[in-house]
Amino acid sequence: MVVLNFTLTPQAASKLHDLLVCLGKFSDTVAVEARREKFTFTALNSSKSAYAAVTLDGKLFFTKYECIPSSGGPDGRFTCSMYTKALLSVFKGRLYDPLGRDGAIDRCEVSVQERENETQCRFIVKMVCNQGVIKTYKLTYEAVDVMHALFDRSVAKNYWSMSSGVIKEYIEYFGTKTEMLDIFAGEDGRCVFKSYTEKISNGKEILKHPLVTAVAVSTSDFEQFTVQAGTHIVISVKDFKAIVVHADTLKTSLKAYYSQPTRPLQFSYGCDGLLCEFTLMTSGDYTGAPLTSTPAPQTLGSRGASRAPLTVTDRTSIRSDMPPPTEPASRRDRSGRLRNPGSRQSSSAAQEDPESLFIPDAQDARRREDDEESAWAPLDYEKEETLGWDASADHDASVFPTFRDSGSMSTTNMSDSNEVFEPTQRVSQIKGLW
């Protein structure tokens, strides 16, 4: 018999939505582990190559949090598993809306009903909305044992951290449909994020090959960067995108810890009592570049050392053990131009009104551009244009004295017609009118 009750502010409930969206990109089900002090969501993808854990601190994240597991004393826990989609249909977007529009809530109360004297075990979510409306959702769950992926940070000698907003810009350059991401620490003070797909075919098919995108970033753009020069580490680009997009909703820095290819990598970020840790499988140095015997030059900045915690000294000493692979040809070709950017301003900037007092909002401009772009796209005639239909039954006719058939009449009517019409029905479906 477990006691688990907690209350969320609208902001926290909306964060719950964001994290569920992220976890949903890894797995259909999400596992819950509640302890006395903290509440954890975990997800493991089907190929077991990615494990995600989001820990919510009992005191910091929740307005009220109470968990008394049925057994185990102070280390006891309550675990279960639920469909991510089911949770998402409860924790919808826009739960937090400062203007109090539709969908906004006042608070959210969650409790677990698991008692011997009750027939049903349910995960109960009460959304307390404005004007005294309370929406109660009862979700089924499955009792499972929750396992955690272990990650030993003391072995992960490579470490970097960067603003999630900046990384989000980088992932926007990536082509669609690519599979892999290679994070490469160069010896020239640059880190390269490269999205690509393993070679699939030859001949005519070659033109269907997705774009290969490499984003070379100065390591000084990182908040911290302590990585053995020459290290390639390869992860799934889809996982990376999901993580970065979620980290950006929290506006925090994304931190990465890893040792070497084929050993796990961990991304970590969080704030305000929410901590996300993603442990991902990595694969080897895909270029297969031969190792040179020259030791890695210690170029990775005095700056990193001055900012990094004390352990950095240990890391640098170990770093020289691993010789770097040679630079891939594609980068060598370009290196001549690396520090010679053209001086030309982007044309979009040139079009701005020089007299204007206002700094154009980049996002706004992009949105306008997108709208304009879509206006020129060939029209998609498959897309149905339909009138909106409010099926929520909130405006119940019974409130007003309207005429209605007796209950029995209407049910027989219903059973007579086998054909079910959609609320927006095609004219062609109406028989006998024309």
Partner 1 sequence: MRFKASIQNITTFTKLTASLNSLGPLAWVKLSEEQVCFTIIPEQGTQVWAVLSIDSIFRDIFVQSAANNVINLEVPLTSLNRALKSALNATSAQIRLTKKDNMPMLALTIVTTASSNALPPATANNDDGFDAPFDDEFGRGNRETIVTQEIPVRVLAPDTVAGLHEPQCRDPDVHIVLPPLMQLKSISDRFTKLALADTKSGSGTIASRTRLELAANMHGCLKMSIRTDALSISSVWTDLNNPELDPSQVVGGENGIAAHPSTRMKQLGSADGRSDEGWALVRIDGRDWGKVMSVGRLGGRVIACFCHEHALVLYVYLPQDDGDNESVLTYYVSSYSA
Closest CB 365 distance from partner 1, rounded Å:
10
User: How far apart, in whole angstroms, are the C-alpha atoms of residue 249 and residue 9?
Assistant: 17
Report if residue 426 touches partner 1, rule: CB under 8 A. Answer: yes
Report if residue 54 touches partner 1, rule: CB under 8 A. Answer: no
User: How far apart, in whole angstroms, are the C-alpha atoms of residue 59 and residue 92?
Assistant: 24
Report if residue 143 touches partner 1, rule: CB under 8 A. Answer: no
Q: What character string, x for contact with partner 1 (CB under 8 A) and - otherwise, covers 1-40? A: ----------------------------------------
Instruction: Tell me, by CB under 8 A, how many residues bind partner 1.
Output: 61
Distance from the Cα of residue 307 to its chain's centroid: 28
Distance from the Cα of residue 341 to its chain's centroid: 34
Residue 78 or 269: the one with the smaller Cβ distance to partner 1 is 269
- Closest among 98, 180, 154, 88 to 125, alpha carbons compared: 88
Residue 145 or 352: the one with the smaller Cβ distance to partner 1 is 352
Closest CB 406 distance from partner 1, rounded Å:
36
User: How far apart, in whole angstroms, are the C-alpha atoms of residue 308 and residue 424?
Assistant: 61
Closest CB 212 distance from partner 1, rounded Å:
4
Candidates 9-17, 73-81, 121-129, 245-253: pick the segment binding partner 1 (CB under 8 A). 245-253
Spatial neighbors of 287 by CB under 8 A, at least 6 apart, are 232, 325, 328
User: How far apart, in whole angstroms, are the C-alpha atoms of residue 210 and residue 178?
Assistant: 6
Binders of partner 1 among residues 366 to 405 (CB under 8 A) are 372-373, 375-379, 381, 385
Which of 124, 139, 166, 180 touches partner 1 by CB under 8 A? Answer: 166
Binders of partner 1 among residues 56 to 85 (CB under 8 A) are none
Q: What character string, x for contact with partner 1 (CB under 8 A) and - otherwise, covers 193-232? A: ------x----x-xxxxxxxxxxxxx-xx-x---------
Q: What character string, x for contact with partner 1 (CB under 8 A) and - otherwise, covers 304-343? A: -------------------------xx--xx--xx--xxx
User: How far apart, in whole angstroms, are the C-alpha atoms of residue 352 and residue 189?
Assistant: 34
User: How far apart, in whole angstroms, are the C-alpha atoms of residue 234 and residue 100?
Assistant: 44
Strand order in the sheet with 134-139: 64-68, 3-8, 105-113, 122-129, 134-139
Local structure of 317: helix, strand or coil = helix
